[in-house]
Structure 1
Amino acid sequence: MLTPDIAVDLLNDTLDLTVVLVVLLILPGLIVGVVVSLIQAATQINEQTLSFLPRLLVTFAVLALAGHWITGALMDFCIAMFERAAALVG
């Protein structure tokens, strides 16, 4: 039976994994965006491609480098959720 404690525990695990994955994907792009913005401010070059393309490339690089780990983490999480659901049913 699903009790409030189990539901909160499931939600907590879900939010933990979501935060880790979002930070892993967003933080490198954010850092590159700040660096590019500082360079643009210093040189007064306001080109949209210059601010977008490096962030896109860094995001793709992070996906290429950490994609295997991300997939493994999501698969482990999914398996754990199905095991918990099976244990709750009986």
Structure 2
Amino acid sequence: MTPETVMSIAYQGMRLTLFMGAPVLLAALFTGLIISLFQAATQINEMTLTFIPKILAVFAVLVLAGPWLIGLITDFTYRLFVNIPSMVM
């Protein structure tokens, strides 16, 4: 296995991690931002107010993007296992 192959696999793995984490993190970020703006506008300083909407937003994103995320990880794993024989030589 050449160093280029290792770097290519590492790059693909990091890219996959970014693609899998980004939708969930962005949903939590935007939900938190909207709730924070609401709290600032109404002067409600309840720290626990952000948890339930964030959990619901993350759950909704996982339900909606779940098939795509599973397809990404399945495709990456399949390509990795298929290319094992060429990596050994």
- What is residue 47 of structure 1 aligned with on the other side? 46
When normalised by structure 1's length, the TM-score is 0.92
Number of residue pairs matched?
89
Counterpart-to-counterpart distance in 1, 2:53 and 2:11: 34
Alpha-carbon shift at residue 57 of structure 1 (Å): 0.2
- What is residue 83 of structure 2 aligned with on the other side? 84
Whichever residue aligns with residue 60 of structure 1, its letter is F
Whichever residue aligns with residue 70 of structure 2, its letter is T
The percentage of counterpart residues that share the same residue type is 39
In the alignment, is residue 31 of structure 1 matched against residue 26 of structure 2?
no
Counterpart-to-counterpart distance in 1, 2:85 and 2:66: 28
Please provide the CA RMSD for this pair. 1.1
For structure 2, the 5+ residue unaligned runs are none
Counterpart-to-counterpart distance in 1, 2:29 and 2:18: 15
Counterpart-to-counterpart distance in 1, 2:3 and 2:49: 49
Alpha-carbon shift at residue 89 of structure 1 (Å): 2.3
Counterpart-to-counterpart distance in 2, 1:55 and 1:41: 17
Counterpart-to-counterpart distance in 1, 2:25 and 2:17: 12
When normalised by structure 2's length, the TM-score is 0.93
Whichever residue aligns with residue 32 of structure 2, its letter is G
**CA deviation profile, 1:32-78 (whole Å, cap 9, x unmatched):** 10010011011111223321111110000000011111111111010
- What is residue 13 of structure 1 aligned with on the other side? 12
For structure 1, the 5+ residue unaligned runs are none
